[in-house]
Structure 1
Amino acid sequence: MESKETDAKFLKMNLGATVRLNKFGLALIGGMIFFIVVLYRNSGSSSQSNYEGRLTTVSLKRLLSGAIDAAERGGKIVYNVRVQATLNEQSKGKTKEGANDPVTDGDLKSHLAMFYALSKAFPGVEIISEEHDKSNVDASTVSPTETFNVEVERTIVDDESIPVEDIRVWIDPLDATQEYTENLRQYVTTMVCVAVKGYPTLGVIHKPFENFTAWGWAGKGVSPKLRVTKDQGGPKDDIAHIIVSRSHAGDVKDVALKAFGENTVVIPAGGAGFKTLAVIQGDADAYAHVTLIKKWDLCAGNAILNALGGKMTTLKGTDIDYGNRDEYKNQGGVLATLYQHDFYLPKLQVLQKS
């Protein structure tokens, strides 16, 4: 009799344990299913790597987030170097027009942070920078870029995975260095651009002294900070506002007055990033450049314009290709507009010098 009662108690205890175990097991299985679903939904957004750790495909959403982080990291360095007045300015020589081409610690330290942060986060992706490393550079303290950005996640619905060989990343660690040395801080930007098969697709322009970051993804969306409206298109009050480089404002002004009339407003400014943003934000109708300019100066602004339906071309009207690191010079002039590109182009083609 005692044996039967003991068996009954044992069975009851085990049944109770079994029920408790099943509840825990169900919760565990439910959590695992949820994790698998999330993993499956995000599988198209992940970058794939080979056995050496080099990427074979790249998530453009992750790369955009990384580009934003890199531009802002570089911007902090540029800001600190300028505020501390530790520029250590040197000259890289003369430009084609005979102007000084300076380089500072802001340029070089920003390059170090941006280049290696992106390289570590996206191994195998080709990155082209305006600056180059000095010998014996120690990049061990540079951490990979953050590849998640809340603003990007909220703005961009889907993602694309691109073969690594189709991607070129162009970075400008400090645009408007001449103005930087003159303490004209408003013109200074740090920029990152991602070209896919030569087409400027992702663009980031960061203004370190205003703590402002603009970004765009062609065909997907733009930074919510960019307030763009249709009523800013076209000459204001029938007067064309053309923004140009400070270094050759006089030449452009003469031609612009002939092209658009004596009331044309020519706005001299520094930095290609600043000038392109001026067009995007409605402070100018067109950005015109007539002399040689490097593609890392143009790519980010070009990508943001593409995302907004604007245009950046040479003065012959051809698109600028960003697919080859060896072809980093753009010698065909530049015209950038948000609206009415075909109105400005024929009138400004005379700016192109043979």
Structure 2
Amino acid sequence: MISENPVHDAMIAAALAAGKAILSHYSQEATEARLKVDSSPVTAADEAAEAEIIKILSTHVPSIPIISEEQASAGTIPPESERFFLVDPLDGTKEFISRNGEFTVNIALVNGVEAVAGVVYAPALSRIFFGAIGKGAWEANVTQDKDLIWRSIQAREIPDEGLVAVASRSHAGAETDAYLKLFNVLNRVSAGSSLKFCLIAAGEADIYPRLGRTMEWDTAAGHALLSAAGGCVRTLDGIDLTYGKRNQVSDSAFANPHFIAFASSDLVSFKHKTASAVA
């Protein structure tokens, strides 16, 4: 392992186990999905992955409560705690159903309101990422029956020739297009799930605007990874995206405001004069 920290080791082990469970369903010819109360899809793979994560985290770090998407959707939310896990067992269910491979397992550790460590695993792509603030960020290729060989990654400086923007494959729209016109964007790529954070953390992209609804378990692991790699995630007001938002007047518990992920804090110093107009 890249860390001597048992909490981090448990997070990585849980993500790998969840990914294995997801792939066992992914190999099947047909995937049946049903709609949750919020109209988002859920499959047996989501539930199998969540069960693996909860089993491993509860066994190895029972003192840290777990807020997981499917349990939260069913109304099971632990009491408030200074330290907790945020889990999306299968981020990108639409990508899973469409078989494009761009889905991930997300596990984050939150301390206070800050996502301080995160693992993002894309099992169909055999890529796993881990980052911890103050420690660094890494990526490894997952090969069956072989130990992970981790390599350090870092978000890049602003390229002179222009930015690579990454946007949601399923949720980008006119507002995203308008926002990106504020920057010198050389190229734009689409990606599903929290892979967008990973591409920036690995130095493959520079900016990811999300001007639509997300939940904390969608973003926390990727946010921690990107922060550990030298990037940042800010709201349209320029404030760090925070976690544990339970009693929100204007939205439901654990819902995020619109945000932008940046490879470099230097990009944040660019004042988005019309950002509020396109949000």
TM-score band (shorter)? 0.7 to 0.9
User: In the alignment, which residue of structure 2 is the partner of 1:290?
Assistant: 211
1:103 aligns with 2:29: no
Q: Please, what is the CA RMSD of the aligned residues?
A: 2.8
Secondary structure of 1:313 counterpart: strand
Secondary structure of 2:90 counterpart: strand
Give the TM-score normalised by the residue count of structure 2: 0.81
User: In the alignment, which residue of structure 1 is the partner of 2:77?
Assistant: none
User: In the alignment, which residue of structure 1 is the partner of 2:223?
Assistant: 302
CA contact (8 A) 2:136 2:152 kept: no
Q: Cα offset for 1:265? A: 2.9
C-alpha distance 134-247 of structure 1, shift in aligned 2 (>3 A): closer
Q: Cα offset for 1:298? A: 0.7
User: In the alignment, which residue of structure 1 is the partner of 2:254?
Assistant: 328
User: In the alignment, which residue of structure 2 is the partner of 1:152?
Assistant: none
CA contact (8 A) 2:198 2:226 kept: no
C-alpha distance 236-114 of structure 1, shift in aligned 2 (>3 A): farther
C-alpha distance 297-115 of structure 1, shift in aligned 2 (>3 A): same
CA distance in 2, matches of 1:93, 1:213: 31
CA distance in 1, matches of 2:271, 2:21: 38
CA distance in 2, matches of 1:268, 1:74: 25
CA contact (8 A) 1:315 1:345 kept: no
Q: 2:187 aligns with which of 250, 257, 265?
A: 265
How many residues align? The count is: 256
C-alpha distance 348-204 of structure 1, shift in aligned 2 (>3 A): farther
State the AA in 1 paired with 2:52.
A
Q: Cα offset for 1:307? A: 1.5
Q: Cα offset for 1:250? A: 3.4
CA contact (8 A) 2:179 2:278 kept: no
C-alpha distance 257-222 of structure 1, shift in aligned 2 (>3 A): closer
CA distance in 2, matches of 1:199, 1:118: 19
State the AA in 1 paired with 2:234.
T
1:115 aligns with 2:59: no
CA contact (8 A) 2:178 2:278 kept: no
Higher helix share: 1
Q: 2:114 aligns with which of 199, 210, 216?
A: 199
1:222 aligns with 2:133: no
1:234 aligns with 2:158: yes
Q: 2:20 aligns with which of 35, 60, 76?
A: 76
CA contact (8 A) 1:201 1:303 kept: yes
Secondary structure of 1:316 counterpart: coil
Q: Cα offset for 1:165? A: 4.3
Q: Cα offset for 1:341? A: 3.2
State the AA in 1 paired with 2:163.
A
Give the TM-score normalised by the residue count of structure 1: 0.65
C-alpha distance 320-260 of structure 1, shift in aligned 2 (>3 A): closer
- For residues 129-169 of structure 1, give each alpha carbon's deviation from its aligned partner in whole angstroms, at most 9, with x where no partner exists: 0112999xxxxxxxxxxxxxxxxxxxxxxxxxxxx942110
CA distance in 2, matches of 1:78, 1:199: 28
State the AA in 1 paired with 2:275.
Q
Q: Percent identity?
A: 28
User: In the alignment, which residue of structure 1 is the partner of 2:83?
Assistant: 167
1:188 aligns with 2:103: yes
C-alpha distance 321-258 of structure 1, shift in aligned 2 (>3 A): closer
1:247 aligns with 2:170: yes
1:338 aligns with 2:263: yes
